[in-house]
Amino acid sequence: MKRRNFLQTTASTVMLSSLLVEESFAQSKGFPMVISTWKNEKANEAAWATLQKKGSALDAVEAGARIPEADPNDTSVGYGGFPDRDGHVTLDACIMDEKGNAGSVTFLEGIMHPISVARAVMEKTPHVMLSGEGALQFALSQGFKQENLLTETAKKAWKEWQKEAKYEPKINIERHDTIGLLALGNQGEVSGACTTSGLAFKMHGRVGDSPIIGGAVFCDNEVGGACATGLGEFVMKTLGSFLIVELMRNGKSPQKACEEAIMRIVKRYKYKEFQIGYLAIDKKGQYGAYSIQKGFSFTLTKNGVTKVFEADYYMKN
């Protein structure tokens, strides 16, 4: 064989085998595992480390969600999140465990870790959802610290936005890289979490899908779990995560269930110039990922290895 042919063959063999490795990593089943929306390696690694320390799936999704919440460079979650059009950083989050317990907070200001407040709502109150001032008072009573979450960068972006004050979501850069996470724990138990500062420059008082159990997150330990990101109004109108879990209950694979949930949106709402991405896992550790538009990435961790993938999508033309 000529040297050049040999090199070409070797290069394509290497490429093929690395594709096969990727493929077998992605398709391998079992637990524990962690999956999250967008490119969130650090969050997955924190979740994975929690599982390695014998933490539960619930502990893992909370630990994962806390990473972007505390990251000032993440402009759509927690500290550093872009404010609403009146300059307030308002936060939505929810969490759900394998027993069907759920907690959420909406329109919460000044608390760096809304996911942990949501967990406290779940564990320490008879309620599922606390909102606004009430959620803040509850958080303070639980020892959370009140702080200014509006960074200089976010303030600058808001001032810039005010020059035209247009509300124009742009696909994948709508600045809504909300994190949704799902985990299968060491016993195969399913939990999920979601946390966000919501759409940048939203109307004051707007609450999205992220704190809605069944919208942005749903788990059923008999079946699996699902989570969502994207223009929350459409996730809320179709209760996407609940729908996906029900579709899996009725026999669909996680992938087919995500596809069907996206189809419900695109068939019913003709305007498709926005992004929604869904993730789902079943009890075997199989996952699904699908979005309306190209560009929805997700992060998967199995066997201690974390990789980012691009989801398949509806709008091919």
**C-beta of residue 231 within 8 angstroms of C-beta of residue 175:** no
176 binds ligand ASP (CB under 6 A): yes
CA distances from 198 to 31, 115, 184, 188, 207 (A): 31, 14, 26, 31, 7
Catalytic residue, from 50, 75, 151, 178: name it: 178
Helix axes 57-69, 41-52, angle to 10 degrees: 150
Query: Does 178 qualify as catalytic in the annotation?
Result: yes
Helix (H) or strand (E) holding 190: strand 190-196
Residues near ligand ASP (CB under 6 A), total = 14
Backbone region of residue 175 per phi and psi (left: phi > 0; alpha: psi in -120 to 50; beta: other values): left
Q: Least distance (Å) from ligand ASP to the CB of residue 276?
A: 8
Q: Least distance (Å) from ligand ASP to the CB of residue 232?
A: 2
**C-beta of residue 91 within 8 angstroms of C-beta of residue 109:** yes
Return the residues of window 106-135 that contact ligand ASP according to CB under 6 A.
Answer: none
Judged by beta carbon, residue 51 or residue 95, the one nearer ligand ASP is 95
Strand partners, 277: 229, 291
Work out which of 90, 229, 299, 301 binds ligand ASP, going by CB under 6 A.
Answer: 229
Q: Least distance (Å) from ligand ASP to the CB of residue 172?
A: 10
88 binds ligand ASP (CB under 6 A): no
Site string for ligand ASP, 183-212 (x = CB under 6 A): -------------x-xx--------xxx--
230 binds ligand ASP (CB under 6 A): yes
Q: Least distance (Å) from ligand ASP to the CB of residue 25?
A: 26
Q: Least distance (Å) from ligand ASP to the CB of residue 210?
A: 5
149-153 LR contacts (CB < 8 Å, sep 24+): 149/78, 149/79, 149/80, 149/81, 149/89, 149/91, 149/109, 149/110, 149/111, 149/112, 150/83, 150/87, 150/88, 150/89, 151/72, 151/79, 151/80, 153/72, 153/75, 153/80
Judged by beta carbon, residue 102 or residue 217, the one nearer ligand ASP is 217
Judged by beta carbon, residue 51 or residue 102, the one nearer ligand ASP is 102
Judged by beta carbon, residue 44 or residue 90, the one nearer ligand ASP is 90
Residue ranges binding ligand ASP (CB under 6 A) = 76, 176-178, 196, 198-199, 208-210, 229-232
